[in-house]
Amino acid sequence: MAMKKTDLEKNKALKLNNAMKQAGVGRGGTGLAAEPKIDRREQRKLDQAQGLVPFACKLNSELAEELKTRAAAHPDGMNGLLDQIIRRGLAG
């Protein structure tokens, strides 16, 4: 059975929508595809090779915001900042 014209147009729109999502278009038309993405499995392998393990905890929202602010300026990001702070705390 042949598809109706409206069904064909809906299918075209869905394909276009999916293609746009896959392209990863960000704000201002800049694509995110320029950055090499590492999937979770590869990132986990890289972390394990560095001896890193996931460690979750709950923090006060004010403290979390301060950490995020400081991590933005830290050369190693959040992981490096927390490593440095925790080592100082344990040593003192």
Q: Is 51 left (phi over 0), alpha (psi -120 to 50) or beta?
A: left
The reported pLDDT for the residue numbered 25 is 57
Give the percent of the chain with pLDDT over 70. 85
- Dump pLDDT digits (tens) for 45-79: 988 998 988 889 999 999 999 999 999 999 999 99
Who contacts 25 (Cβ-Cβ below 8 Å, separation ≥6)?
31, 32
The better pLDDT of the pair 38, 75 is held by 75
The reported pLDDT for the residue numbered 67 is 95
